[in-house]
C-alpha cells in the first residue's frame, strides 16, 4: 500500500512539473515578443544542470541546447574565408562528407585592400549564406587584430595595420553575415598580434595604445556592427588570459561598450574555472582537443565551465549570478540565430558566390610597380609568355591553420593565365624553385603531386632558358600557408622570400627586362630585386577564383584599384616592434613559461612609426597604382573654424585624366599641429572609393567631426579633443599627399564620449 501511495504521489508531482513547464504560456517561443522577455521566460524554466550544459562544448564544434524546452544546440564553423569541412565529433579528423566543399573567398588582407565597404558587405552576405546552408549558427570570423609585425603568421586573416580602416571594413562584413541569421564572431579579442608563444605571451601595453590602435575595430564591431559573438584570444593581458580577462571582457567589452552578446573562448583558450566564471567568458570550446577519445578526464563534462562549475555552486562557494548572465546571453543568441524561424535558408557554391569571390579578388589586387607601363600586357606585341614559380600551380586554400578549406575548385594562376592569354600567345611554364611539395592539412588533401627530384641548379637553369625566349616573364611566387610562413601557430623566420626565390628573380631579370612579379602572400616581403623588375603585383590569397582574378588584372580586363592595408618595409629594422627589440618578447626568470612582450612603441605602429622616424618604406600604407591617373583639385572647406559640436565639410574634385575607366581611393589623414600628448604626424580618419570614366570629375565629400580629432588620454581614461590648429592631408597613399587644408577647433579641451 505504501508503495502504491509513493507511486501515486510521484505521478502527481511529475504531472505538476509538466503542467508548470508547458501548460503556462510559453513566452520564449513567441517570436512576436521582445527578445529579452523571451529570454527571461526561458531562463525561468531551466534547471541548473541545463544552464551549465549550455556553457561548454559537447563536440569539437558544437555546444548543447535544452532539448526539453526545444532550444537547439549551437553549431560553430571556422571562417573567415570559407566554411570549414566537417570533422568528427571528438577530434580534428575529417568526417568524410562528400557535400561539404565550399567557395573560398579571398583572405581578409585582400578584402581590406579593396578599401571598399561595399565589398565587405558582399563578402559577409555571401559567406553567411554558405554558413547558413550548412546549418551553422556561429561563423568564427572575421579577424581584426592589428598588423604589428610582418612576421605574424596569421596576418593574412586580419585587416591590416590601421584601426580606422579595419573598423570601417569589419562593420559591413558583420552585417552581411548576420543578415542570414548567422552570428559573426569577431576575433581574436585582443592583442593577439603574433603567433610565437601565443598561449604564454603576456602583452604589456599602455592604455593609450590599447584604445587608439588595438581596440577600435572591435569597438566598431560591437557599437556599429552589432556583432552577436566575440572570440577571446590565446595571449595574456595584465597577467590574465584574454579568454577570461576582467579588464578586456567585463570592464571594456561588456561594461564600456555594452556588448549584449556571447564571449566564446578560442579552442583551448580557457585555463581556470573561477576566472572563467567571474571574468566574462560565456561559452567554452576546445579545452581538450581530443574530446572523449582520451577518457573521462578529457570529457566535455569536465570542461572548466562544466562539472567543476556545478560543484562550486552545490558547495555554496559561488552563487548563480554569473551563470544567469551567461545563459541570458546564450539564449539571446539562440533567438537571433537557430530559433529565428524567419531567417533565410542560404545557398552553397552558387554562381553568385563565385562571382563575389572573383570581384573581391580583382578589387583587392594591388599594383605596386609598373615601369614603362608594361601592364596591362599588350597582346599585339606579346607572342610568348613565360610563367615561372611554384605559386603559379600550388593550391593555397589548403593549409594555414583553422582557415584551411575544402573547396569545390581552385583555379591556379597558371590556369587563369592560360585561359585568358592562351589563344593569343604561347604560354610556357617552369617551376623555378621548389618550396613545399606537400598538399595536406587536417585530412584535406590537394591531390597535387608537386614532388620534383631535380637539383635546384637544374630547376633554375630551366627557368632561365625559358625566360630568355619569352617576350614577358610572369614570376608567381611569394609565401604559402605552410608552417613558418602564413600559417597559424607559427611566425615567419624573416622578411625575405623563402626557397631561394630572391636569387631566382635576380637571375631571371638578368636575361629578360620584362619581368612581372606576382607576389602571393598575406604579409609584406622584402624585395631586394625591386629595381631590376618591370612590375610588381601584390595578389594575396585569392581563393577559388585566384587564377581568373590575377589574369583579369594582368590583361587589363580589370583596372587594378587595390591599396595596401599595411606598410611594406625595406627591412625588419624599419618596423617598430623589431627596431625596439620587443618581438616576440622575453621569457620571465620566475620559473614560469610566461613571455612578456612590451609594446613600447605605443601608438606608433606602421606608417605612424615611419613618419616620426622619417623612414622611407618599400611601399607605403595606402599605396596602389592604376592603369589610369587621377588629378586632385583644390579642396573647398565649409569653414576654417570648427566648434566642438559642429562639423566641417571638405569637398575635393578628383579627375580621371587617363584614357580608361578606373577607381581611386581618396584618403583623408589628420594632423594635430599642437597637442598636450605626443601624436602621430598623420592618422587615417576617412576614405572614399570612387569610380570614374575617362576625363570624368567627381567631387568627393568628407565630414570632419570632433571624434576624428580626439586622442585617448590614459590619465583621464577619456577621449579628448583639444582646441587648436589641425591640418587635413588628402592623398592617394600615406606618402602621396596631393592637397592640404588647415582649420581650427575653437573650443577648449573637451571630453568626448568613451
Which positions are catalytic? 266
- 366-370 and 718-721 strand pairing: unpaired
Q: Is the dihedral of CA 549, 554, 560, 566 positive or negative?
A: positive
Q: Is the dihedral of CA 594, 195, 248, 244 positive or negative?
A: negative
Alpha carbons within 13 A on the beta-carbon side of 540: 37
Q: Please, are residues 570 and 618 in contact by the beta-carbon 8 Å criterion?
A: yes
Alpha carbons within 13 A on the beta-carbon side of 591: 0
Q: Would you state the cell numbers that stand for residue 381, as one nine-digit string? A: 606585341
CA–CA distance, 70 with 411 (Å, rounded to integer): 44
Q: Would you state the cell numbers that stand for residue 259, as one nine-digit string? A: 556588448
CA–CA distance, 518 with 552 (Å, rounded to integer): 13
For residue 67, give the DSSP letter.
Answer: G
Please give the backbone phi and psi of residue 13, each rounded to the nearest 5 degrees, phi first: -65, -40
CA separation (Å) from 651 to 646, 666, 702, 729? 17, 11, 6, 13
DSSP character string of 130-176: HHHHTT-SEEE--B------TT-TTGGGS--S-HHHHHHHHHHHHHH
Who's near 74: CB < 8 A, 6+ residues apart?
62, 63, 65, 137, 138, 283, 330, 333, 334, 337, 338
Query: Within 10 Å of residue 67's Cβ, how many Cβ atoms?
Result: 10
CA separation (Å) from 223 to 128, 191, 248, 616? 20, 19, 16, 36
Q: Would you state the cell numbers that stand for residue 533, as one nine-digit string? A: 623588375
For residues 456-490, one letter each, b for 16 or more C-beta atoms within 10 angstroms of the residue's C-beta and e for the rest, the string is eeebbeebbebbeebbbbbbbbbbbbbebbbbbeb
Helix (H, G, I), strand (E, B) or coil at 343: coil
Phi-psi region for residue 239, left (φ > 0), alpha (ψ -120 to 50) or beta? Answer: left
What angle, 0 to 180 degrees and rounded to 10, lies between the N-to-C axes of helices 546-555 and 351-364?
Answer: 50
Taking Cα atoms as reference points, which of 222, 283, 229 lies closest to residue 58?
283
Q: Would you state the cell numbers that stand for residue 608, as one nine-digit string? A: 605612424
DSSP character string of 270-293: ---HHHHHHTT--BB--SSTTTTT
Amino acid at each position: 500500500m505504501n508503495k502504491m501511495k509513493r507511486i501515486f504521489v510521484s505521478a502527481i508531482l511529475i504531472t505538476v512539473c509538466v503542467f508548470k513547464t508547458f501548460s503556462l504560456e510559453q513566452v520564449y517561443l513567441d517570436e512576436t515578443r521582445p527578445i529579452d522577455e523571451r529570454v527571461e521566460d526561458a531562463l525561468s524554466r531551466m534547471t541548473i544542470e541545463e544552464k551549465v550544459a549550455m556553457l561548454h562544448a559537447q563536440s569539437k564544434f558544437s555546444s548543447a541546447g535544452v532539448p526539453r524546452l526545444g532550444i537547439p544546440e549551437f553549431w560553430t564553423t571556422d571562417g573567415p574565408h570559407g566554411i570549414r569541412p566537417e570533422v568528427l565529433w571528438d577530434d580534428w579528423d575529417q568526417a568524410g562528407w562528400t557535400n561539404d566543399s565550399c567557395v573560398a573567398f579571398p583572405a581578409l588582407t585582400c578584402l581590406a585592400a579593396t578599401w571598399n565597404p561595399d565589398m565587405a558587405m558582399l563578402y559577409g552576405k555571401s559567406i553567411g549564406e554558405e554558413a547558413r546552408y550548412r546549418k551553422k549558427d556561429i561563423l568564427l570570423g572575421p579577424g581584426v587584430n592589428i598588423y604589428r609585425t610582418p612576421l605574424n603568421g596569421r596576418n593574412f586573416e586580419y585587416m591590416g595595420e590601421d584601426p580606422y580602416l579595419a573598423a570601417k571594413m569589419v562593420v559591413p562584413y558583420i552585417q552581411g553575415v548576420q543578415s542570414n541569421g548567422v552570428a559573426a564572431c569577431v576575433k581574436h579579442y585582443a592583442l593577439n598580434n603574433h603567433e610565437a608563444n601565443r598561449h604564454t605571451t603576456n602583452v604589456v601595453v599602455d592604455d593609450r595604445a590599447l584604445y587608439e590602435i588595438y581596440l577600435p575595430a572591435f569597438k566598431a564591431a560591437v557599437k556599429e556592427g552589432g556583432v552577436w559573438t566575440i572570440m577571446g584570444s590565446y595571449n595574456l593581458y595584465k597577467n590574465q588570459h584574454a579568454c577570461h580577462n576582467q579588464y578586456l571582457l567585463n570592464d571594456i567589452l561588456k561594461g564600456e561598450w555594452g556588448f549584449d552578446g556571447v564571449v566564446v573562448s578560442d579552442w583551448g583558450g580557457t585555463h581556470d574555472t573561477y576566472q572563467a566564471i567571474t571574468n566574462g567568458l560565456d561559452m567554452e570550446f576546445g579545452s581538450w582537443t581530443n574530446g572523449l577519445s582520451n577518457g573521462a578526464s578529457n570529457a566535455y563534462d569536465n570542461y572548466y565551465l562544466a562539472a567543476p562549475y556545478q560543484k562550486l555552486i552545490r558547495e555554496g562557494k559561488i552563487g548563480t549570478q554569473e551563470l544567469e548572465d551567461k545563459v541570458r546571453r546564450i539564449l539571446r543568441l539562440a533567438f537571433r540565430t537557430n530559433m529565428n524561424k524567419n531567417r533565410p535558408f542560404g545557398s552553397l557554391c552558387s554562381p553568385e558566390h563565385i562571382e563575389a569571390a572573383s570581384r573581391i579578388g580583382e578589387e583587392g589586387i594591388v599594383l605596386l610597380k609598373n615601369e614603362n607601363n608594361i601592364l596591362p600586357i599588350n597582346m599585339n606585341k606579346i607572342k610568348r609568355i613565360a610563367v615561372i614559380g611554384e605559386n603559379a600551380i600550388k593550391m593555397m586554400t589548403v593549409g594555414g591553420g583553422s582557415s584551411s578549406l575544402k573547396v569545390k575548385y581552385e583555379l591556379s594562376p597558371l590556369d587563369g593565365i592560360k585561359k585568358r592569354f592562351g589563344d593569343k600567345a604561347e604560354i610556357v611554364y617552369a617551376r623555378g624553385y621548389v618550396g613545399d611539395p606537400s598538399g595536406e592539412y587536417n585530412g584535406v588533401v590537394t591531390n597535387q603531386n608537386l614532388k620534383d627530384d631535380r637539383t635546384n641548379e637544374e630547376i633554375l637553369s630551366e627557368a632561365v632558358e625559358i625566360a630568355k625566349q619569352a617576350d614577358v616573364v610572369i614570376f608567381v611566387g611569394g609565401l604559402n600557408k605552410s608552417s613558418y610562413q602564413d600559417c597559424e601557430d607559427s611566425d615567419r623566420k624573416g622578411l625575405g622570400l623563402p626557397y631561394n626565390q630572391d636569387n631566382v628573380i635576380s637571375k631571371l631579370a638578368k636575361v629578360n627586362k620584362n619581368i612581372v612579379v606576382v607576389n602571393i602572400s598575406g604579409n609584406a616581403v622584402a624585395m631586394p630585386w625591386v629595381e631590376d623588375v618591370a612590375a610588381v603585383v601584390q595578389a594575396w590569397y585569392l581563393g577559388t577564383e585566384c587564377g581568373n582574378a590575377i589574369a583579369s588584372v594582368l590583361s587589363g580586363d580589370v583596372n587594378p584599384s587595390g591599396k595596401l592595408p599595411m606598410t611594406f618595409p625595406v627591412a625588419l629594422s624599419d618596423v617598430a616592434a623589431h627596431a625596439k627589440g620587443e618581438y616576440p618578447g622575453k621569457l620571465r626568470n620566475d620559473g614560469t613559461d610566461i613571455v612578456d612582450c612590451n609594446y613600447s612603441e605605443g601608438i606608433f605602429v606602421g606608417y605612424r612609426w615611419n613618419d616620426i622616424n622619417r623612414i622611407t618604406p618599400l611601399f607605403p600604407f595606402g599605396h596602389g597604382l592604376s592603369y589610369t591617373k587621377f588629378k586632385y583639385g583644390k579642396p573647398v572647406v565649409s569653414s576654417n573654424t570648427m566648434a566642438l559640436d559642429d562639423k566641417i565639410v571638405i569637398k575635393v574634385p578628383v579627375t580621371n585624366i587617363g584614357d580608361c575607366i578606373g577607381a581611386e581611393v581618396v584618403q583623408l589623414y589628420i594632423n594635430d599641429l599642437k597637442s598636450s600628448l605626443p601624436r602621430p604626424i598623420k592618422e587615417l580618419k576617412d576614405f572614399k572609393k570612387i569610380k570614374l570614366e575617362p576625363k570624368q570629375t567627381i567631387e568627393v565629400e568628407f565630414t570632419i567631426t570632433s571624434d576624428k580629432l580626439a586622442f585617448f588620454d590614459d590619465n583621464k581614461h577619456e577621449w579628448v579633443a583639444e582646441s587648436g590648429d589641425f591640418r587635413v592631408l588628402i592623398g592617394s597613399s600615406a606618402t602621396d599627399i596631393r592637397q592640404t587644408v588647415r582649420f581650427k577647433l575653437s573650443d577648449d579641451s573637451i571630453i568626448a564620449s568613451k
